[in-house]
Amino acid sequence: MNPWNIDENTFDHKKLHSHETVYTIGNGYFGTRGTFEEDFPRATPGTLLWGVFDKISVGKEELANVPDWLIIKLFVNGERFRLDRGKILDYQRTLDMQHGILRRTVRWESPAGVRIRVTSERFASLADEHVGAIRYSVTSEEQPTTGGNIDVFLWAAFNMAVGNYDLMHWEPVEQDRDDELVWLQTQTRHSYVQLVQTMSFTTQAWNFNKELIRSDIAPSIRLYGSLAAGETVTAEKIVVMYTSRDVVDPVKTALAHHHEIMEISAAESVPDKQYELLIEGTVQARPCKHVDAFETLLVAHKKAWERYWEISDIIIEGDDKAQQAIRYNIYQLRISVSSHDSRYRCIATASFQVHEPKRNKMVTKGHNIRGKARWMEGKLHQMRLSIQKVVN
């Protein structure tokens, strides 16, 4: 075993919810449960933002689960890719705690016999705490039954249809686009905290076209094209989040931040290559550009995690399970607490791994933070400072 990784080699739907907790990513500003981009029945998607609470009838308040930023729906020849459909040929998921990256690879056969390989990587940037990033690749394998090219349809969106169990905390305020960015503005129902989420969804595949779609609850961007056997399309979804707790004008700030990311990552246009951009029934021809925002953000993100582990890692010799467990808990401490804000708040559902000698196995201990966040925030900060003092 690799003591830096939490690995899952088979998919078991009975462990869906516990593994959503285990495979959480975060950076202290926001934390996101390990749900699948394409969704799954009875999944519990969750992203909690540092310090963003709303009132509840039982107790005083709770962290408000924000609109889901992970959504990427995939359709192949009109069939929806989802793990409860078709046949899973191979499955691998890894939480790389050393670099704060969640990776997954699935080989899948559709009900009609189309075979594809789907690879996804995601992270909550430790170098730029307002940013979440996903790189999503689809490869067409040899088609033993269908043959020929396959039509691929990728649909990235925000999703407001999430809550804390059955309680919805957010209501829409506004949504719009700015060039090829779409954005959603929402507000908590009782504490009146406003949140702005901006999204870009890009690919370097020049033969894929794009459509921007308005919606008060799920604005989206769609990419569509075709793949021959052996070909791959890779799409990058970048999301920027700001609240009214952070800045006076979260819309303006989020859009400016997002455009800066895209401009830094953009290269020259590809000669003689264009794609079609469809906006509200109007088709525009746009020059193809190489934009590699994910990789640019990833380099800075990895360096930030390297600096963190230099001062926080604890080495246990001769026991890989114990080594993995202590690193998992240190990882959780970092993603759950802001490193710079004095208004400390626990942001993600707490989950810690402990070794139970009687069962001789690692067990994930998770608990509902409703009504406990105020107490936990101080404890988590004290624990993290204690670990760093010991190491130093």
Quick one: 169 and 315 in the same domain?
no
- How is residue 164 annotated by DSSP? B
Domain shared by 213 and 73, yes or no: yes
Residues 64 and 206 in one domain: yes
Q: Residues 317, 245: one domain?
A: no
Which of 282, 301, 320 is a domain's end point?
Answer: 301
Q: How many domains does the chain have?
A: 2
Burial of residue 215 (number of CB atoms within 10 Å: 0-12, 13-18, 19+) = middle
pLDDT number for residue 342: 62
Both 336 and 285 in a single domain?
no
Locate tokens 């079609």: which residue?
276
pLDDT at 383: 52
* Residue where a domain terminates, one of 271, 301, 331: 301
In this structure, the answer to whether residues 252 and 362 fall within a common structural domain is: no
Tokens linked to 235: 């799409």
Beta bridge partners of 154: 74, 223
Does residue 108 share a domain with residue 64? Answer: yes
For residues 114 and 150, is the Cβ–Cβ distance under 8 A? Answer: yes
Residues 100 and 228 in one domain: yes
Rounded Cα distance between 293 and 261, Å, is: 7
Residues 136 and 257 in one domain: yes
Encode pLDDT of 54-96 as tens digits.
998 877 889 999 999 999 999 999 999 999 999 999 999 999 9
Indicate which CATH number applies to the domain containing 169. Answer: 2.70.98.40
Residues 105 and 167 in one domain: yes
What residues make up the domain containing 377? 304-391
> Are 36 and 99 in a shared domain?
yes
Among 301, 331, 348, the domain boundary falls at: 301
The rounded distance, in Å, linking the Cα atoms of 164 and 21 is 14
CA distance 146 to 143: 5
Q: Do 265 and 322 fall into the same domain? A: no
d(CA 8, CA 95) in angstroms, rounded, equals 9
Edge-to-edge strand order for the sheet containing 150-157? 79-80, 72-76, 150-157, 220-227, 209-213, 266-279, 282-291
Distance between CA atoms of residues 324 and 191, nearest Å: 39
Are the CB atoms for 201 and 213 separated by under 8 Å? no
> Among 80, 52, 76, 56, which Cα is nearest to 66's?
52
Largest CA distance in the chain: 67
Say what the pLDDT of residue 352 is: 43
d(CA 62, CA 164): 9
Residues in the chain with pLDDT values less than 50: 344-359, 362-382, 385, 387, 389-392
For the chain, how big is the Rg over CA atoms in Å?
21
Tell me the two tokens of residue 346.
């626990």
